[in-house]
Amino acid sequence: MPLRDLLKRFTTSQLEQDELSLKEFCESLPEHTLLGDVELRKLMVMVGEIESLRIVPSRDGTPWLEALLNDGSGKLVIVWTGRKSIAGVRPGTRLVLKGRPSLHTRSRRPVVYNPIYRLIPVDSPQS
Contacts 24+ apart (CB under 8 A), 21-24: 22/48, 22/49, 22/70, 22/71, 22/72, 23/71, 23/72, 23/73, 24/72
Q: Which residues bind other proteins (CB under 8 A)?
A: 40-43, 58-60, 62, 81-82, 100-103, 113-114
Question: Nearer Cβ to other proteins, position 85 or 102?
Answer: 102
- Smallest separation (angstroms) from other proteins to the CB of 11: 42
Closer of 16 and 37 to other proteins (Cβ): 37
Closer residue to other proteins, CB minimum distance, 41 or 90: 41
Burial label, 63 (beta-carbon count in 10 A; 0-12, 13-18, 19+): middle
Residue 120 C-beta: closest distance to other proteins, Å: 24
Q: How many residues can be counted in the chain?
A: 127
CB of 78 to other proteins, least distance (A): 12
CB of 60 vs other proteins, minimal distance in Å? 4
Bridge-based pairing of strands 63-70 and 75-81 is antiparallel
